[in-house]
Chain A
């Protein structure tokens, strides 16, 4: 399945998910991927099909993983961890 939309989610969808979004954009730019739309929002806005991949902190996985593929970060602000996991995921899905 092609990946068109990545949603970063957290409790109220204002603080940490926004930081993760900025980091995801940074990684995608570095990987030269330009056709993926990245957004951030609250857990309330997560439903099946809202995005092709959800990037979340470890503590949110129990509630989000039912709605689609998740990329789980142990440390939500770690750029190296995100870069490693996102690159692996996109390679596995054949995007890059």
Chain B
């Protein structure tokens, strides 16, 4: 008896097996044929293990980067990258993340069914990343066990419904109809950009009237883009480190400072090692989601057929291709300016380097949103504001991330950082059960609102 209990306990506490079990239950519930059930379950477990393998690859490069940055510049340097921080978070918070993701999707369906936030969030990788962020922040806030899972799932469900609702007004403007919604956790940055666009963009012509060079589009290949920017970052820090006095003595003591080869080769290899790690993590995430997302889509379509599917950011790219490129460039520029401001603050906050992936995807989307409300002037000012925003927000997120706050990477997109900052700081005042109560009240608010306040009748 005890042996059986022991096995059961290990199944529920070994994250890879746990997500496999969730996939298994989902596949059985959909009455899939046995070979599909076996294939799906195995691929889900495999994916989870692959994410861990990717983390092992990229963490080595990050450790070098962090040690040399600290030595050379005397302050913590951070490259925001969702995949990197999630893979690190899963080392310690995998079990909570898996439960929160599973029940959080359920919470999303409950909100879509019973409140007026009729959105189903279908961008599975962002659901996973948000689940990991929430697991970290609420654990640091003193929640454990069932309280952590209950509060975490409610918070995840809330974010999955409320952020698409915030973007919907501009989405209607971009796509021209109200049938699809926007599901990408950079929403606050896009809404900010759209707001700046409406303030400053009056009368400006659309970005789509200008002719633009297409040569930068190769950066859409994420592996190439990460490799190139990390190479530049590594070149700067390794040259700065070796030209700082006392390098040889320090390198003799700290293995993470000793490059062991010429700085140019070292930078190239470590940059591409990091990009390789991210590539592996992405492959793992793809495997994990392969069964979960279609199941979630199918189940939610049955329970809430009138909900709008909230979809990943490239959904809006074809509507304004020039704004995509312009948004990326200007947001990246905003990131560089923001970095300058952070460094002038003299190391009170971590230095957030402009990660190419967040600036590309989120910056591009910010450009599209800014263009929708304020033409090319709106796209430029909006995307620049977005670039500043996603540079400062991660710096304020770091202190509430517990031991992960000292990592060389962190969450990049606006909604992750804002949710983390809000609930992490609430947790500084209210710990444990009180924190859970606040989260549950925020979850219940839109449902109570829908029950109490009569629906406006459209004229």
Nearest CB in chain B: distance from A68 CB, A: 16
In Å, the complex CA distance between A41 and B221 comes to 11
Interchain CB contact (< 8 A) of B314 among A10, A22, A44, A62: A10
With A15-B311, A58-B321, A63-B217 given, is the CB distance from A42 to B282 under 8 Å? Answer: yes
With A14-B285, A18-B289, A59-B318 given, is the CB distance from A43 to B125 under 8 Å? Answer: no
Judge whether A43 and B124 touch: CB under 8 Å.
Answer: no
Judge whether A57 and B297 touch: CB under 8 Å.
Answer: no
In Å, the complex CA distance between A57 and B311 comes to 14
Q: Return the CB mask of B293-316 against A: 1 if under 8 Å, else 0.
A: 110010000000000010111110
The binding surface of chain B is classed by DSSP as helix
Chain A, Cβ-Cβ closest to B321 = A59
Interchain CB contact (< 8 A) of B317 among A42, A43, A57: A57
With A59-B321, A77-B315 given, is the CB distance from A41 to B286 under 8 Å? Answer: yes
With A14-B124, A43-B221, A43-B222 given, is the CB distance from A59 to B282 under 8 Å? Answer: no
B425 touches A (CB below 8 Å)? no
B324 touches A (CB below 8 Å)? yes
Judge whether B289 and A63 touch: CB under 8 Å.
Answer: no
Judge whether B318 and A57 touch: CB under 8 Å.
Answer: yes
Judge whether A12 and B123 touch: CB under 8 Å.
Answer: no
Judge whether B289 and A14 touch: CB under 8 Å.
Answer: yes
A87 touches B (CB below 8 Å)? no
In Å, the complex CA distance between A44 and B222 comes to 7
Judge whether A22 and B294 touch: CB under 8 Å.
Answer: yes
A71 touches B (CB below 8 Å)? no
The 9 A-B residue pairs with the shortest CB-CB distance in the complex, in nearest-first order: A15-B312, A58-B318, A14-B125, A44-B223, A16-B314, A59-B317, A43-B221, A16-B312, A15-B123
Query: 29 interchain pairs (CB within 8 A)?
Result: A10-B312, A11-B221, A11-B360, A12-B125, A13-B282, A14-B123, A14-B125, A14-B286, A14-B312, A15-B311, A16-B313, A16-B314, A18-B124, A18-B289, A18-B293, A19-B122, A19-B311, A22-B294, A44-B224, A57-B314, A57-B317, A57-B318, A59-B321, A62-B214, A63-B217, A63-B221, A73-B318, A75-B318, A77-B311
Query: B residues near A, CB below 8 A?
Result: 122-126, 175, 180, 184, 214, 217-218, 220-224, 279, 282, 285-286, 289, 293-294, 297, 309, 311-315, 317-318, 321, 324, 357, 360-361
